[in-house]
């Protein structure tokens, strides 16, 4: 007998799930770039980590944000182009770096290395320009270096550095957390800076170097700040174009929880915090909608994920990879699907070794974490139309919060071919639940329904390493089909993907 019911409403389409919602973020922080994307910070031993390239290429990651994070607003891109032995070594203001855990930057991995890495992986680059300590000229020059096809010094410098054709970088972030590490600005101050940068970086039809760039402003999880930013940006008469395509915010959760000393109560609190993503998307969308613009402005969550007490600056923000973190990612990806009408991208933090990374490395080994498995399980949603779902689920009061934790969550989508895909989470770490998934008006009796499940019989805090990484792979899940109702048994802390052709 089912104790939770998910109803999928195929007639109530929400919007396309942009593939970029499964995007990633990499910063010059700890072992993310050096020892993660790149072999080392020693110029003579340079080279991409082929094992990491292969794992990310297999996942078909749609977009990768770089070089930060806080690092972005302390980064001067010209330090990282040209012959590697001539590049200046700089202090890294915010983070420990590479194998020696030193706060210095060799600049061995710069713009060309990053953009070639993206080409190898088959992903779109998203560059974050320096607003906090940079200037509009520097940002505009970066665009010219990357994208211009003419006979200028910067375009020719790119050619000399090995890339004849323009890279065609589409996504440009103007600043990172400018309310904090990116300059501690008021929203009005950032709005004024943003307008200056947007003018020179250029994305307006009346500029000769129009590149159809997508410009991204960095918002805040304080929504009053976002309202004030939008009002100020909207004040000036910009003519026909409004110079903003996406507004972002960052949502980390679990900051007070040690993953190695957590309890069932703590897991519940952690998951409730993760589910606050829903509130943040609604609020930032409302800040956008409050101001009339000539552009359709999307919501990006360009840093998100679990951040536990284990991850500190001194260890390059490293923390163990666990099932509970992966489960939170599944819950958040469901939320993104529900908001496909406003969500244009997200970038989980951070791709390799740092925070809720998907891939971990140690010496010559590289392996995938449970969160990678979740992204893989959710991949069929990419590019589909999201469908409205309603969920009737048991829940539990969560100590130290005003919230309940709803145990069962879900999202659904449909492909052009008519194939539907439903993902269902059981966030209850203590008990299993039987879930009826009703697809309104769709008799699945003769359909070749296929289902997979992650994390059966895995403890929420089980840590992944090179020796057990394969144990977290998806397994087949039994589905009972009765007309338009599909029933599945979900063990504690599991996530399932069901496809209905
Ligand atoms: O991802 C780590 C840091 O978290 C980033 O540098 C910053 O943007 C955020 O506060």
| pLDDT tens readout for residues 13-46 | 999 999 999 999 999 999 999 999 998 655 445 6
List Cβ neighbours of 319 (8 Å cut-off, separation of 6 or more): 259, 306, 307, 308, 310, 311, 355, 356
Give the residue, out of 95, 250, 304, with the most ligand 1 atoms within 8 A of its beta carbon, to mutate for a pocket test: 250
Please report where in the chains the tokens 């992986």 appear, as a residue.
121
Does position 409 have pLDDT exceeding 80, yes or no? yes
Instruction: Write down the pTM of the prediction.
Output: 0.96
Average pLDDT over residues 42-68: 87
Q: How much is the average pLDDT of 346-363?
A: 97
DSSP annotation of 466 reads: T
| Mean pLDDT of the 349-371 span | 96
Among the listed ranges 83-87, 290-294, 457-461, 470-474, which one has the minimum average pLDDT value?
A: 290-294
Of 28-32, 202-206, 289-293, 377-381, minimum mean pLDDT range: 202-206
pLDDT score for 336: 98
- CA of 374 from ligand 1 middle (Å) equals 23
What pLDDT score was predicted for residue 243? 82
Strand runs labelled E in 117-212 = 124-129, 171-174
Nearest CA residue ID for atom 5, ligand 1 = 69
Pairwise CA distance, residues 59 & 22, whole Å: 10
Task: List 352's β-bridge partners, or say none.
Answer: 359
Q: ∠ at Cα 228 (227, 229), nearest 5°?
A: 90
Q: Catalytic residues, which ones?
A: 177, 303
Find how far residue 106's CA is from the centre of its chain.
26
Give 471's contacts (C-beta < 8 A, 6+ positions apart): 458
Query: Ligand 1 centroid to 180 CA: how many Å?
Result: 10
Collect all residues with Cβ–Cβ distance below 8 Å to 15 and sequence separation of at least 6.
Answer: 340, 341, 385, 386
Atom number, ligand 1, closest to the C-alpha of residue 95:
6
Q: Please say whether the beta carbons of 427 and 474 come within 8 A.
A: no
Ligand 1 first shell, C-beta below 6 A? 27, 68-70, 176-177, 250, 303, 349-350, 355
Q: Which of 97, 183, 252, 308 to mutate to test the pocket of ligand 1 (most atoms within 8 A of CB)?
A: 252
Task: Provide the pLDDT for residue 43.
Answer: 46
Helix (H, G, I), strand (E, B) or coil at 375: helix
Ligand 1 center to 130 CA (angstroms):
14
Quick one: pLDDT at residue 479?
97
Q: What is the pLDDT of residue 185?
A: 98
Ligand 1, residues 316, 349, 357: which to mutate, most atoms within 8 A of Cβ? 349
Task: Give the integer Cα–Cα distance in Å for 389 and 406.
Answer: 15
Q: What is the pLDDT of residue 98?
A: 73
Q: What integer pLDDT is reported at residue 210 of this predicted model?
A: 61
Element (H, E) at 235: helix 223-235
Output the pLDDT for position 208: 54
Q: Return the ligand 1 atom nearest residue 350 CA.
A: 1
276: left (phi over 0), alpha (psi -120 to 50) or beta: alpha
Question: What is the average pLDDT across 446-456?
Answer: 95
Q: What is the whole-number distance in angstroms between the Cα of residue 53 and the centre of ligand 1?
A: 23
Q: For the residues of 24-68, what is the DSSP string, one character each? A: EE--SSBTSTBTTTBS-S-GGG--B-HHHHHHHHHHT--EEEES-
Q: Nearest residue CA, atom 8 of ligand 1?
A: 69
pLDDT tens for residues 318-337?
Answer: 999 999 999 999 999 999 99
pLDDT of amino acid 2: 75
- Which ligand 1 atom is the nearest neighbour of the CA of 252? 4
Could you tell me whether strands 450-454 and 433-439 are parallel, antiparallel, or unpaired per DSSP bridges? unpaired
Q: Which atom of ligand 1 is nearest to the CA of 25?
A: 1
| Structure confidence by residue, pLDDT tens digits, 284-318 | 999 999 887 767 899 999 999 999 999 999 899 99
The residue whose C-alpha atom lies closest to atom 7 belonging to ligand 1 is 69
If you measure from the C-alpha of residue 434 to the centroid of ligand 1, how many angstroms do you get, rounded to a whole number? 39
Q: From the CA of 257, how far away is ligand 1's center (Å)?
A: 18
């Amino acid at each position: 007998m089912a104790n939770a019911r998910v109803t999928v409403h195929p007639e109530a389409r929400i919007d396309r799930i942009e593939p970029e919602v499964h995007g990633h973020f990499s910063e010059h922080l700890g072992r993310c770039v050096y020892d993660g994307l790149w072999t080392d910070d020693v110029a003579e031993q340079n080279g991409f980590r082929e094992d990491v390239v292969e794992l990310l290429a297999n996942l078909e990651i749609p977009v990768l944000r770089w070089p930060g994070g806080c690092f972005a607003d302390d980064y001067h891109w010209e330090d990282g182009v040209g012959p590697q032995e001539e590049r200046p070594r700089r202090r890294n203001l915010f983070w420990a770096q590479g194998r020696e855990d030193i706060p210095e930057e060799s600049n061995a991995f710069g713009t060309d290395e990053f953009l070639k890495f993206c080409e190898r992986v088959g992903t779109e680059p998203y560059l974050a320009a320096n607003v906090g300590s940079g200037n509009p000229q520097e940002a505009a020059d970066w665009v010219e270096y990357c994208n211009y096809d003419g006979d200028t010094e910067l375009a020719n410098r790119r050619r000399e550095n090995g890339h004849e054709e323009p890279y065609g970088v589409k996504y440009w972030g103007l600043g990172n957390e400018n309310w904090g590490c990116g300059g501690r600005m008021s929203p009005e101050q950032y709005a004024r800076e943003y307008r200056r940068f947007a003018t020179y970086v250029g994305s307006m039809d009346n500029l000769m170097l129009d590149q159809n760039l997508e410009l991204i402003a960095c918002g805040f999880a304080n929504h009053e700040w976002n309202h004030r930013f939008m009002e100020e940006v909207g004040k000036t008469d910009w003519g026909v174009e409004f110079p903003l395509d996406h507004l972002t915010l960052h949502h980390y959760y679990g900051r007070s929880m040690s993953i190695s000393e957590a309890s069932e109560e703590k897991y519940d609190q952690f998951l409730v915090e993760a589910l606050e993503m829903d509130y943040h998307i609604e609020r930032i969308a409302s800040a956008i909608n409050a101001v009339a613009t000539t552009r359709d402005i999307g919501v990006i969550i360009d840093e998100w994920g679990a951040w536990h007490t284990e991850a500190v600056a001194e260890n390059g923000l490293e923390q163990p990879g666990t099932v509970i973190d992966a489960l939170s990612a599944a819950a958040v990806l469901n939320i993104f699907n529900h908001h496909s009408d406003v969500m244009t991208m997200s970038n989980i933090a951070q791709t390799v070794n740092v925070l809720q990374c998907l891939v971990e490395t140690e010496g010559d080994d590289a392996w995938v974490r449970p969160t990678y498995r979740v992204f893989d399980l959710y991949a069929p949603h990419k590019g589909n139309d999201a469908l409205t779902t309603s969920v009737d689920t048991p829940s539990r009061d969560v100590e130290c919060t005003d919230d309940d934790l709803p145990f069962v969550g879900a999202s659904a989508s449909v492909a052009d071919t008519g194939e539907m895909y439903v993902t269902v989470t059981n966030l209850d770490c203590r008990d299993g639940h039987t879930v009826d998934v009703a697809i309104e008006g769709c008799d699945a009796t003769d359909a070749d329904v296929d289902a997979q499940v992650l994390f059966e019989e895995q403890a929420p805090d089980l840590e992944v390493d090179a020796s057990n990484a394969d144990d977290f792979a998806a397994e087949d899940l039994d589905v009972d089909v009765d007309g338009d109702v599909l029933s599945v048994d979900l063990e504690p802390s599991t996530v399932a993907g069901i496809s209905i052709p």
